[in-house]
Every structure is written in C-alpha cells, then in structure tokens.
Amino acid sequence: MTTLPIERADQRWAEISDDGLYRYLLGRRWDENLPECVFIMLNPSTADSTKDDPTIRRCINFARSLGCGSLLVGNLYAFRATDPRELFKAAEPTGGRKNDEVLTELLGRGDVVIAGWGAHGKSERVAEVLRLPGAERIAALALTKAGAPRHPLYVPGSATPATWRMTA
C-alpha cells in the first residue's frame, strides 16, 4: 500500500513518475487542523509540486468553500495530458497498480471525496475505481447530461457536493 506524503513539512507536493509521464498524487495544504478534501478527476495536466493549473486552482477554491484545509488530487488515469484524446493513445493510461493504490488511500482518508472526471472517463475504468474500498463515499458537484460527475471547471463556484452513484 502506498503511504501518501501528507504529514510533510511543505505545503505543496506531487508524486510524479521518474520519467514525468504520470502524476499519481497532488497535494496542497493551508491548514492542517481542518478536514481534507479529495478530488478524483480524469487525468493530470500540467500542475506539479510548484505550479497550479486552472483545474487545481478551482479545486482549491471548492475545498476552501467547504471548510477544508487541504486538497488531495487523484485521477482515473495517471497519464499526464492536456488533451483527453492524447490520454488514450498512451500504452498504460491508468498508471497501473500504483494509481489504484493511491486512489484506494485517497478514498479512505478524505473527509470530502468529490468526483469530477467529466464525460471522457471510460465506463470500464469508472467501474473499476468505483469497486475500490471507500468509493461509496464519492460525491459530485454536478452531473453531465450522461450522468457523469462534471469537471470542476464547468461547475458554478457556488455548487456543493451531493452523493453520486454511477447509472447504467
């Protein structure tokens, strides 16, 4: 089992593969005394231990509005891509067992767990992640027309999480 580097001295971290192709975890902490907010999205983009991208900035804002003191981010697919079409060209877009270990730990420890992978998550992969321990706690800020948890960039800033279940 992966041990997440949450009890760190620094306030910003990311677990990225040696070749830079995969990001398994991203974390931001501003108050260690407040609850943790977990977002599980489609795949990582450009954010890392020193740089936030628009998605991470939006997730931080949601976490703060929910009274949380940290943000932990995992993804259905650990392969880093700015375009979902590129994601599925990768030989192993999920990132393998390591990504599932990180997701399992995130699902078990987040005080608030929000899905936000949008319309591009393949149903087989979504089903795999929803079978992980703790997945029954997943909430969504809003849904796509197809019933998938909407990506946080496409949700009003006033949205609040509601329990979410995958529909057939």
Q: Give the model confidence (pLDDT) of 35-90 as tens digits.
A: 999 999 999 999 999 999 999 999 999 999 999 999 999 999 999 999 888 999 99
Total domains in the chain come to 1
Which of helix, strand or coil describes residue 14? strand
The per-residue pLDDT for 161 is: 96
- Note whether residue 168 is domain-resident: no
- Note whether residue 150 is domain-resident: yes
* Burial class, 75, CB count within 10 angstroms (exposed 0-12 / middle 13-18 / buried 19+): buried
The per-residue pLDDT for 167 is: 67
- Residue 47 CA to residue 71 CA, distance in Å, equals 13
pLDDT digits (tens, 9 = 90+) for 81-135: 998 889 999 999 999 999 999 999 999 999 999 999 999 999 999 999 999 999 9
- Note whether residue 5 is domain-resident: no
- Residue 160 CA to residue 66 CA, distance in Å, equals 8
Expressed as residue numbers, the domain containing 142 is 12-163
- Note whether residue 6 is domain-resident: no
DSSP H helices, the chain, are: 54-65, 84-87, 96-109, 123-130
- Note whether residue 91 is domain-resident: yes
